[in-house]
Amino acid sequence: MHPITLVIHGGAGTLLPGNMIPETELRYREALERSLDIGYNLLKGGGTALDAVEASVRELEDCPLFNAGRGSVFTAAGTHEMDASIMEGKTCKAGAVALVRSVKNPVSLARLVMEKTSHVFLAGEGAEQFARQQGIEHRPPEYYHDDFRYAQWLAIRETETVQLDHSSQPSKSENKFGTVGAAALDREGNLAAATSTGGMTNKRFGRIGDSPIIGAGNYANNATCAVSCTGSGEYFIRGVVAYDVSCLMEYKGKSLVEACRIVIHERLVNIGGDGGLIAVDTKGNFALEFNTEGMYRAALNDSGEKMVAIYRNP
């Protein structure tokens, strides 16, 4: 029997003490803890790592506080385009979707791509057709409407600007920061990771970030680790960040913590990127690494280590 571990994130960015009113901060912490408890209870009951990461991410997708699922940002056209991926470490099978507009839980659609097709990545209308064929839950556009997200879009919609949720905000608004994800190790020693996002505010031309790209924003391999990323997507793609962590462990013999530190604080920074990641290895060790001021994050294992944090100093 292996130790069980679950880690989750809700995005990394300019998260500073005092930038949120206490009531809002409490809502974020409670949302993270709910997601953590849902996934961990599955693991504790003998569930798979794959089940746990899907369940935790679904919970975050259903929460309007985070830029994924229901809380997704607006595109330049005033619509929503969501991306997600999931991967299991035992077989290295993976599924991903991008540019879906009405699917309630994109992470579950990504899992169906992995389990019900011979493909890895479906996008746009084809992904929507597959979702309808599989009976996936859909929601109308108003389900995804959020007043804060809408105001965020209105402020820049007449410009060429796109906005990452983890970018600096000069006001003390109730900011919502980026991508969500989870990584887990189950009793059988299997790893899994999942990542989901609503992308960038005011994005154009069908832009896709790192979240649905296997090896960039998400990766799992029983030989090494499971990783979910959040941050400046273009840089995570260029740096193949999630796979880079695994490579440092497999080919250089680095520990999980050291590999994550090198990738986030050296390799990513060297190419101009910012953000963070969560990861779990085959022994149940976990890492929560970021080079921004903060990252919504939580972790729990059967050694009794539990943490829910937002800022650099928990």
Is 48 one of the catalytic residues?
no
Q: What is the CA radius of gyration of the chain?
A: 18
Residues 174, 137: Cα–Cα separation, whole Å: 29
Residue with tokens 């990394």: 12
Catalytic residue among 75, 179, 195, 292: 179
Residues 229, 84: Cα–Cα separation, whole Å: 12
288 in Cβ contact with 264 (< 8 Å)? no
Sequence-ordered list of residues with C-beta below 8 angstroms from that of 277, at least 6 positions apart, any chain: 9, 227, 228, 229, 230, 241, 242, 245, 260, 263, 264, 287, 289, 290
Cβ-in-10-Å burial (0-12, 13-18, 19+) of 156 comes to middle
275 in Cβ contact with 230 (< 8 Å)? yes
State both tokens at 166: 């983890």
Residues annotated as catalytic (active site), given as ranges:
179
